Amino acid sequence: MTERESADPSANTSRRFVSVLRLAAIALVIVGFTGWVIEDDALALESPYTIAFAAGVVCALVSIYLGIFLANRGENR
């Protein structure tokens, strides 16, 4: 960690938030996909596994976007 990163607590909080989103995305996608495989009526949109899978995909996309945004913000300083 550089001296500038340790002096900016918002950067550490932002990176931690992106890491939490990535972890949540992995967990939700695995749970959702496993539920689809195990459950017989898995393609129903109201299924909790479908919702978990969709939430995992959304978390993954948001974490990618925030990761790119934070990386570009760091270059401009």
What residues have CB less than 8 Å from 49, skipping those under 6 apart? 31, 32, 33, 34, 35, 36, 39, 42
* Nearest Cα residue to 59 out of 10, 74, 12, 51: 51
Token pair 């909790």 in the structure block, residue: 48
- Residue-wise pLDDT for 26-51, tens only, equals 999 999 999 888 887 657 788 899 99
| b/e sequence 54-72, b meaning 16+ C-beta within 10 Å | ebbeebbebbeebbeeeee
pLDDT band at 11 (very low <50, low <70, confident <90, very high): confident
Coil, helix or strand at residue 44: coil
